[in-house]
Amino acid sequence: MPQTDLHCTAHFSPLKRYFHFEQNWLKGTTPQESLLCNDMYSGPQLCALSVTITKEQALFDLFSDRVPHVSIAKTDDVIWEDSGAWLKSVLQLLYGSWEEQNSTEREVATMQLKHTTPA
């Protein structure tokens, strides 16, 4: 992956640039922000690091459909923006509120996760 592809998305809007958000972000951050990377998760199409953010950083995390992460790798048929939602579904499956009824149901959910492709 080229170094120019490395990023940590705090806010994404396909419609327009939000200068107010950018100004608040720059005022609210120190010159050297850091992220605590927890674990690496990989599947057939994506690989990402889960990230723990500070309370201050959490104020800028505007996504409810994904989790803070660092994208590591992807296949050509997946877009980078899918990695946060994918990681959220993995974490919910492994640790979250999703309650498995039995091992068969978990296997089905895992298979669906592995074979999900963007529309």
Mark residue 117 as left, alpha or beta (left: phi above 0; alpha: psi -120 to 50; beta: remaining): beta
Residue 20 covered by a domain: yes
Domain that holds residue 87: 3-114
Whether 43 maps to a domain, the answer reads yes
Q: Does residue 84 belong to any structural domain of this protein?
A: yes
Is residue 96 in a domain? yes
| Distant-in-sequence, close-in-space partners of 78: CB < 8 Å, separation ≥ 6 | 45, 46, 117, 118
Decide if 119 is inside a domain.
Answer: no
- Please count the structural domains in the chain: 1
Q: Which helix (H) or strand (E) covers residue 51, if one does?
A: strand 46-52
Question: Do the domain assignments include residue 76?
Answer: yes
Cα(15)–Cα(40) distance, integer angstroms: 31
- The CA-CA-CA angle for residues 119, 67, 79, to 5°, reads 30
Say which range, 34-38, 59-63, 72-76, 95-99, has the weakest mean pLDDT. 95-99
Q: What is the pTM of this model?
A: 0.55
Q: Tens digit of pLDDT for each residue in 46-89?
A: 999 888 888 877 777 777 778 888 888 889 998 888 888 898 88
